[in-house]
Amino acid sequence: MFGLFKKKRITLEDQINTLNELGISLETNISIDYLFEHFDREEYEQDPYYTLLIVMGGEFGNEKDELVIVSNDVWHFDMECVEDEDIYAELANKMIILAKGKLPLQNIKSMVDHDHEVAWFSFELYNKEYNWELQYNYDWFDIGFVEKFSDLCSELQLEERYIFLNLEQDCIISFCTLDQYNQLNKLMKYKFEFMA
């Protein structure tokens, strides 16, 4: 009788297929065997989608010291990452990749001045200059940076926005439509925020 209420296990393969339908795909050179180098099947299927998204959003080194990108559709990183003065320029490049060509920013510059406790980010887009003042919080990433990118999407009247899952020490970011976001959140125990 209690078996009737047992939650159906979602296989790793089904998770990959479902995320693919929502626009979050593995790079073509990434196999399931590669995913098993990070977690075993039990861990992926015990917490469906969450563990997979963490691995898909990561950047790893291989035995040749080459960077391995698991997916360009999702990004997972430690938010205690603001050390270099030009870190926001580096982070912006990842945001641009997530947008799949819809945000062709140019002349990107950023500065984190730890002595004066200030941070800013500037760029050009479609012959317009943008200068964003960012919140300085020592070595912690300013979540407002993602909000500003979503505001930019709104200004350009794009259908997509950035979605953000705050995991306190780390986070997951992706770029999708409101419909894709709603479908993704139905699958997840932890809920993304649609940065609109």
CA 92 to chain centre: 11
Place of tokens 């997530």: 98
Confidence of residue 109 (pLDDT cuts 50, 70, 90): very high
Alpha carbon distance 66, 50 (integer Å): 26
Does the structure show a pLDDT above 90 at 130? yes
Q: What residues contact 8, with CB distance under 8 A and at least 6 apart?
A: none
3-state secondary structure of 72: coil
**End-to-end alpha carbon distance in the chain:** 45
For 165, how many CA atoms within 13 A lie in the half-sphere containing its CB? 23
pLDDT band at residue 5 under the 50/70/90 scheme: low
171 and 31 Cβ atoms separated by less than 8 Å: no
Percent of the chain with pLDDT over 90: 90
Q: Provide the pLDDT confidence category of residue 66 given band limits of 50, 70 and 90.
A: confident
Compute the distance between CA of residue 108 and CA of residue 97 in angstroms, rounded to an integer. Answer: 14
Mean pLDDT of 93-119: 97
Mean pLDDT, the chain, integer: 94
pTM (2 d.p.): 0.92
Band (pLDDT 50/70/90 cuts) for residue 43 is very high
